[in-house]
Amino acid sequence: MARAGSIFDPESKAPFTLSRSKIDLFCECQRCAYLDLKLGVKRVSGPSFTLNNAVDELFKREFDIHRAAKTTHPLMKSYGIDAVPFDDPRMDEWRDALRRGIGYLHKPTNLYLRGGIDDVWVTPTGELIIVDYKATSKKVGPSTEDDLYDSYKRQMEIYQWLFRMNGFTVSPTGYFVYANGNSDKEAFYAKLEFDIVLIPYTGSDAWVEGAVMDLKKMLVSDDIPPIGVAFGGGPCDYCTYREAAGKALMAVHKKKRRA
């Protein structure tokens, strides 16, 4: 099976592995996805938010205590959620975004799609609830679905789709466990406090199948996709930079040739 992040080889018969983030990249900008998956030119990565990673890890340990005890976390109780953390031997595998995650071979396209989840809860009827942890620090923290980025919503829907494709009954409503760092204290005192909220999101994964089919069409096509449209309505910032840099360098090159 192809390694996630490798360049697509149209001659290969092996399934091509795509992470959840690559599907999201394609939804955001097909040209950026083309450069990444067909030419191996990735977007410049941003800084690593290690504090967010620490919050994620501590959330996982906290919910794992209740997973082992088969008890409902107090946060879930306070929001009236009748469920417990899902106790399944594959949890560590599903959480491993870099190497494993939960995967599904989409036979019509021969694409192996996978994603690493943060958590899964289960209701008394056996319905799974997909959960994602988020951390931020804002004066007014997120509290409703309207505060969620579109990429977060797609992330949740892709995870729900992957679990459904693996035969699980999945609730249409997932939850974001959101930690907002409180900066209003009088001093730090080597302690950062967070306000924790649970944000429900009820979406639809109906778009995922079509996106996967369109992504495969892009992979096998020789046509370069147009510059994508960013969430704000304007052109993709990455594409705009590449175009401007390319034109500026070409102008310098032409000037030197005429000299």
**Buried/exposed code over 107-141 (b: 16+ C-beta within 10 A; e: otherwise):** eebebbbbbbbbbbbbeeeeebbbbbbbbeeeeeb
Whether residue 190 has pLDDT greater than 80? no
pTM above 0.85, yes or no: yes
Rounded Cα distance, 221 and 229, in Å: 20
Q: What is the mean pLDDT of residues 89-105?
A: 92
* Contact in structure between 132 and 143 (CB atoms under 8 Å): no
Mean pLDDT of 185-199: 83
Domains of the chain: 16-220 (3.90.320)
Q: Which residues pair with 127 in a beta bridge?
A: none
Give percent of the chain above pLDDT 70. Answer: 95
pLDDT of residue 229: 67
Q: What is the mean pLDDT of residues 58-64?
A: 96
Mean of the pLDDT values across residues 19-32? 93
Q: Rounded distance, CA 140 to CA 142, Å?
A: 7
Instruction: Give dist(CA 46, CA 66) in Å, integer.
Output: 34
Of the chain, the percentage scoring pLDDT greater than 90 comes to 69
The pair of structure tokens assigned to 242 is 């590449």
Tell me the per-residue pLDDT of 132-186, one tens digit each, with 9 for 90 and over. Answer: 999 888 888 888 899 899 999 999 999 999 999 999 999 999 999 999 888 777 7
What mean pLDDT do residues 38-65 have? 87
pLDDT band at 233 (very low <50, low <70, confident <90, very high): low
The span from the CA of 80 to the CA of 93, in Å, is 29
